[in-house]
Amino acid sequence: MSYKIPRGTLDLLPDTTTKWQWVEEKARQISRRYGFSEVRTPIFETTELFQRGVGETTDIVEKEMYTFLDRKKRSLTLRPEGTAGIVRSFVENKVYAQPQPTKWFYMGPMFRYERPQAGRQRQFHQFGLEAFGSTNPALDAEVIAMGMQFFEELGLQGVRVEINSVGDAECRPVYLQKLIEYFEPYKDQLAADAQARLYRNPLRILDTKDPATKEIANQAPSILDHLNEDCAHHFEMVKKYLDALGINYVVNDRLVRGLDYYTHTAFEFMLDVKGAQASTIGGGGRYNGLVQEIGGPEMSGIGFGIGLERVVLALDEQNVSLPIDKGVDCYVISIGEEAKVTGFQLLQDLRKAGFTGDQDYLNRKMKAQLKQADRVQARWVAILGEDELKEGKVNLKNLGTGTQELVPLAEVVTYLRNNK
C-alpha cells in the first residue's frame, strides 16, 4: 500500500528548507534588533480559546478550524493563528504583572481547513510578534516598520502596507448600526454568509469575497467618518510616526482583517504581483481588549502575522538571490582500510573544529568520490591513501583553484583555517 501526503500540506525537502532557514533566521535577527524575544506555545489549545479570542462569527471559527475531542472528551483545536495562544500564555503565566511593555515573537505551523492554492496550505507557517502593555501609537508604527524592514532585508520588491482604524468599544457600535442601516435595503442581494452576519457582525461584510456583495459594500459608510476623538487622534499619530520613518502606506477604510479582536489600528502587508491582483502577505493590528477577554487584566496589545509560505513563494517568483551557503568545507576521500579509519578520525576532528564535512559511505573508487565532492560543492578535498598514510600526511586540494598540497595530519585544521 502506498501513502500520500494529506491534501493541503507540503514536504519541505533540503533545497527548500535552506531557503526557509535563511528567512527564519532573518526574522529572528530583526526581532532581536527591535527588542522582541521568542516564545513557543502548543500547536493545539482548548477550542473555546479561539472561539472567544478570534471571534465566533469569523470564517476561521465558523468554517476552517481543525477541532477534535481527546480521550476525555475535551474539545481541542489545532491553532489556526498565533495571537490567541500567545495572549493565553501571557495571561496564564502572569507576565502582565511584570514591568511592561512585553515584546514577544514566534514562528511555527498553523492549521486551517481551506482550499489549498499556491502559498496557501492547510498546514501553513507564520512569523508573528506581539507587544503588550502600551497604547502608544509609536508602537503601532514600530510594529509596521519592523514588518516592512523584514521584507526589505529579504530583498522582496513591491511590498506596501495598507492601514485603517477599526475604532474601539465606544465608537464601533455606532458605526455598526450605520452599517446595518445601509445594508438592510440590500439584504436579499447579499451573499448568504453576509446575510447571516448582517445583525451579528456587519463589519465582516466589508471583508467579503463575493463580487456582488463587494460592489454593494464599496458604497457603505466609512468607519473613518465615525471615529471618536480618541480613535481619530490615535490613527493620526500612527500616520505621523509612519511619515517620520519614511514608511509608504495607503489608507484603506475597507480594511477590517479577518479576526474580531482588532481595535484601533489594522493593517495589511500587500505584495504587488505582475499581471494579477495584489495579494496579502501578512497583516495585523491592535487588540486592546483581547487580554481581558482571555482572563487577564485590562491591557493593550498589538502584533502581526506573516505567512512564510507566501514569503518563500514570492522570493522564488522574483528570483531573489539568497546568500545561502550550500557547500561543505571539506570532503574526505580515503583509499584503503587503514586510511578509511584515519580519514574517519580526520573528518570528526574537522567537524569538532567547526568545519562542515562529509565522506563516501558506498566504497566508491577515487574518481567517483571526486565527482561526489563536486556534487556536494566541497571547497576542499582531503585525499588520504596508503602513501599519504605512511607519511602521516593528507593531500589537500582546493577545488576552486585546483591547487593542492601535502599537509601533516596534525596540521590540517590549522591549514584550512589559514586558507579560508
Q: Which amino acid is at 218?
A: N
384: closest CA among 347, 328, 333?
333
79: annotated binding-site residue? no
130: annotated binding-site residue? yes
Beta bridge partners of 358: 331
24: annotated binding-site residue? no
411: annotated binding-site residue? no
33: annotated binding-site residue? no
- DSSP state letters, 26-85: HHHHHHHHTT-EE----SEEEHHHHHHHH-TTSHIIIII-EEEE-TT--EEEE-SSSHHH
The helix-helix angle for 47-54 and 83-92 (nearest 10°) equals: 110
126: annotated binding-site residue? yes
Respond yes or no on whether the N-terminal peptide bond of residue 185 is cis (omega within 30° of 0): no
CA dist., res. 363 & res. 377, Å (int)? 20
The helix-helix angle for 308-317 and 137-154 (nearest 10°) equals: 40
Q: Which amino acid is at 257?
A: R
Q: Identify the residue whose cell numbers are 479561539.
A: 50
Question: In terms of DSSP bridges, do strands 263-271 and 279-286 run parallel, antiparallel, or are they unpaired?
Answer: antiparallel
DSSP-assigned letter for residue 89: H
262: annotated binding-site residue? yes
**H or E element that contains 305:** strand 301-307
Which amino acids are annotated as binding site for L-histidine, given as ranges?
81-83, 112, 126, 130, 257, 261-262
